[in-house]
């Protein structure tokens, strides 16, 4: 399917597809490709069919089957998923035994910090006889000596996930659904997940808990899993300030009232959960027809080029032609770019769909920043997606340094909360960017003239010249390698008529002289008279 693939260290290689009449499928980097699930290739193998002539053939049902494999690969709805089959671990979970779930929810609304105490002094005391807890204090089902290490372990894991992928994964789960699968396997799944943060003032300090900025969510993996069993859980659309826990649990109990052995309890646990891919799953499910109709999706789902459209093919601009076909004065670049990077920017502006690939350090992030800047100049809206938050930050910082900060809306990490998004939008509306003064016409003409001169110089240096068949650049390289050779007399007349055969004869004569000169010097060094 790709029309051309080039890989060198001078700049990013291009793997190019295109059709300007279709929406741009995007420009993917090599890191993005590595993140594509291996199930894509498995799906292509699974959906292969044979036509009457024995050749591979793919129909709409094959592409739909591939999409199903990809979609199911995003979520794990088996008992391995802790959102489906929750089990306590020594350092990865903390059961909260007091206060009750409703009281915890009420306290989280105040945004106050919560302290933790262990169970060393109360583990042998019945729950109703235990001493009252101070305000904003959680009792964890851990000994005092284990309380700090477990909380610090959760803090480290949550912080690492946030730094790596910009995801908040620490939640306090209120309520647990006990249910049974069709094979009568018993499961316990957390219900309401409220994002929280742990903060610590020192390495040995017991972390404190604060409510996070995101909204509460009903366990999305559980909701998807129970749909297969004919149970529809309620949807949580309220913020934490408006949430009614008793009403929510009541709706869940009504949804499972006909299920024998199913129950809702008030268990509270603190742990790390990751379910960001469930949104992608729902999106692919809700927009299946639109996704299946996209030519890029169809191309990735099938292997036979005969079943793929040739509209993805396009001829990328070669480095030596970039100044003629896409002069820099006509391409709005916010950062420096070499010829191969400029070719990528031009393809993006033209609406081409392609993969940009290249070794580390060849300027892929800088090229992406240039693409976004050029597309903004063309009046386009650009969505830049990356699995790693660091990649987003690099591109965002490059664009901000170029003065485009007011046009950027960050939708990851804590910046995706309602408050942060509203603040960013208000800032963009209240601040009108002022474009810097452009270059005057005379300076532009001088620069264009200089570029033509430099290109002409580079062309002359690399032009193959007859009759020798070498370029001046190559000849200078050969001469540079002769630095160790003794000086020789310079010919009175330049060897302008030197041919490859003549050069070969000179080299052979020099080699014979070298072999004859070596024994002569050896004899002279031994004290013998020569001649």
* Contact between residue 183 and residue 168 where contact means Cβ atoms under 8 Å apart: no
Mean pLDDT of 6-28: 36
Taking the C-alpha atoms of residue 10 and residue 317, their distance in angstroms, rounded to an integer, is 15
Task: Report the distance separating Cα 481 and Cα 484, nearest Å.
Answer: 8
State the pLDDT confidence band at 269, using cuts at 50, 70 and 90.
very high
Query: Which pLDDT tens digit goes with each residue over 349-360?
Result: 998 888 898 888
Lowest mean pLDDT, pick from 45-54, 313-322, 361-370: 45-54
Tell me: pLDDT of 21 over 60: no
What per-residue confidence (pLDDT) applies to 468?
86
Lookup: tokens for 215: 């909204």
* Number of other residues whose CB lies within 10 A of the CB of residue 37: 12
- If one counts every other C-beta atom within 10 angstroms of the C-beta of residue 347, the result is 24
Predicted pLDDT of residue 525:
58
- pLDDT for 246 equals 93
Amino acid 102: pLDDT: 93
- Residues 493 and 51: their CA atoms lie apart, in Å, by 73
Q: How far apart are CA 313 and CA 301, in angstroms?
A: 17
Report pLDDT for 463: 93
Whether 99 and 172 have beta carbons less than 8 Å apart is answered as: no
What is the per-residue pLDDT for 28?
41
Cα angle vertex 27, ends 22, 28, to 5°? 130
pLDDT(417) > 90:
no
Distance between CA atoms of residues 433 and 408, nearest Å: 12
Q: Which residue carries 């820099």 as its tokens?
A: 328
- Smallest CA-to-CA distance from 461 within 453, 396, 400, 293 is with 453
Report helix, strand or coil for 14: strand
The stretch 239-268 carries a mean pLDDT of 93
Tell if the pTM clears 0.75, that is, is over it: no
38 Cβ neighbours under 8 A, 6+ residues apart: none
The predicted structure's pLDDT at residue 165 = 81
The pLDDT confidence band at residue 235, using thresholds 50, 70 and 90, is confident
Q: How many other C-beta atoms lie within 10 A of the C-beta of residue 181? A: 15
**In 3D, which of 352, 317, 351 has the Cα closest to residue 337?**
317
Q: Residue 456: enclosing H or E segment and its boundaries?
A: helix 441-462
Q: What average pLDDT is seen over the chain?
A: 82
What is the rounded distance in angstroms from the CA atom of residue 261 to the CA atom of residue 184?
10
Q: What is the pLDDT of residue 519?
A: 64
Q: Kindly report which listed range (253-267, 494-508, 512-526) carries the lowest average pLDDT score.
A: 512-526
Given a cut of 60, whether residue 330 has pLDDT beyond it is: yes
E strands, 69-222, where? 93-98, 115-117, 137-140, 170-180, 186-199, 208-211, 217-218
| Structure letter (DSSP) for residue 114 | B
pLDDT for 6: 33
317: closest CA among 287, 283, 295, 340?
A: 340
Query: Counting beta carbons within 10 angstroms of the beta carbon of residue 96, is it exposed (0 to 12), middle (13 to 18) or buried (19 or more)?
Result: buried
The answer on pLDDT for 12 being more than 60 is: no
Per-residue pLDDT of 129-178, as tens digits, reads: 566 788 899 999 998 889 999 999 999 999 998 888 888 899 999 999 99
pLDDT computed for residue 524 by the predictor? 56
Q: What is the pLDDT of residue 198?
A: 96
- pLDDT for residue 58: 57
Determine the distance from the C-alpha atom of residue 360 to the mean position of all C-alpha atoms in its chain, rounded to a whole number: 15
User: Which residues lie below 8 Å from residue 478, measured CB to CB, with a gap of 6+?
Assistant: 470
In tens, the pLDDT along 460-476 reads 999 998 888 899 999 89
For residue 526, count other CB atoms closer than 10 A to its CB: 7
Residue 514 scores a pLDDT above 90: no
pLDDT-derived band of residue 57, with 50, 70 and 90 as boundaries?
low
**Cross-strand pairs, 115:** 137
d(C-alpha 240, C-alpha 251), whole Å: 17
Q: Could you tell me how many helices (H) and strands (E) the chain has, helices first?
A: 18, 15
pLDDT exceeds cutoff 90 at 39 = no
The pLDDT score that the predictor gives to residue 60 is 74
What pLDDT does residue 27 have? Answer: 41
d(CA 30, CA 378) in angstroms, rounded, equals 26
**Confidence at residue 178, expressed as pLDDT on a 0 to 100 scale:** 97
pLDDT band at 128 (very low <50, low <70, confident <90, very high): low
């Amino acid at each position: 399917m790709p029309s051309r693939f080039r890989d060198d260290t001078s700049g990013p290689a291009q793997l190019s597809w295109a059709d300007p009449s279709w929406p741009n499928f995007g420009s993917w980097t090599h890191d993005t490709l590595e993140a594509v699930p291996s199930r894509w290739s498995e799906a292509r193998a699974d959906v292969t069919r044979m036509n009457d002539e024995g050749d591979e053939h793919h129909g709409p049902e094959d592409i739909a089957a591939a999409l199903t494999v990809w979609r199911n690969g995003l979520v794990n709805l088996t008992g391995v998923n802790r959102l489906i089959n929750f089990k306590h671990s020594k350092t990865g979970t903390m059961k909260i035994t007091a206060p009750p779930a409703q009281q915890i929810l009420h306290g989280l609304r105040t945004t106050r910090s919560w302290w933790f105490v262990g169970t060393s002094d109360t583990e042998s005391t019945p729950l109703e006889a235990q001493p009252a807890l101070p305000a904003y204090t959680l009792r964890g089902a851990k000994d005092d000596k284990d309380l700090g290490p477990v909380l610090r372990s959760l803090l480290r894991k949550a912080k690492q996930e946030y730094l790596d992928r910009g995801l908040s994964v620490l939640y306090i789960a209120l309520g647990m659904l006990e249910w049974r699968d069709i094979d009568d396997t018993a499961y316990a799944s957390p219900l309401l997940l409220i994002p929280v943060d742990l903060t610590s003032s020192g390495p040995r300090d017991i972390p404190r808990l604060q409510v996070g900025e995101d909204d509460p969510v009903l366990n999305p993996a559980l909701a998807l899993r129970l749909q297969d069993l004919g149970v529809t859980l309620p949807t949580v659309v309220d913020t934490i300030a408006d949430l009614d826990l008793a009403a929510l649990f009541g709706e869940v109990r009504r949804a499972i009232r006909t299920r024998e052995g199913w129950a809702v309890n008030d268990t509270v646990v603190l742990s790390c959960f990751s379910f960001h891919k469930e949104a992608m799953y729902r999106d692919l499910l809700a927009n299946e027809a639109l996704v299946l109709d996209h030519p890029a999706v169809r191309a990735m789902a099938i292997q036979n080029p005969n079943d793929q459209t040739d509209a993805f093919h396009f001829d990328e601009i070669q480095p030596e032609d970039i100044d003629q076909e896409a002069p820099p004065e006509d391409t709005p670049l916010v950062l420096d770019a070499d010829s191969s990077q400029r070719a990528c920017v031009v393809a993006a502006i033209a609406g081409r769909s392609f993969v940009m690939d290249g070794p580390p350090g060849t300027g892929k992030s800088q090229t992406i920043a240039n693409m976004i800047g050029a597309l903004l100049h063309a009046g386009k809206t650009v969505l830049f997606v990356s699995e790693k938050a660091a990649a987003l930050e690099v591109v965002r910082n490059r664009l901000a340094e170029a003065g485009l900060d007011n046009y950027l809306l960050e939708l990851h990490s804590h910046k995706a909360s309602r408050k942060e998004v509203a603040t960013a939008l208000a800032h963009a509306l209240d601040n009108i960017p002022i474009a810097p003064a452009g270059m005057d016409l005379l300076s532009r003409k001088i620069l264009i003239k200089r570029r033509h001169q430099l290109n002409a110089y580079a062309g002359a240096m690399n032009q193959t010249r007859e009759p020798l068949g070498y370029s001046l650049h190559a000849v200078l390289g050969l001469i540079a390698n002769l630095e160790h050779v003794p000086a020789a007399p310079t010919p009175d007349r330049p060897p302008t008529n030197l041919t490859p055969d003549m050069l070969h004869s000179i080299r052979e004569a020099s080699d014979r002289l070298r072999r004859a000169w070596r024994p002569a010097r050896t004899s002279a060094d031994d004290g013998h008279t020569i001649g």
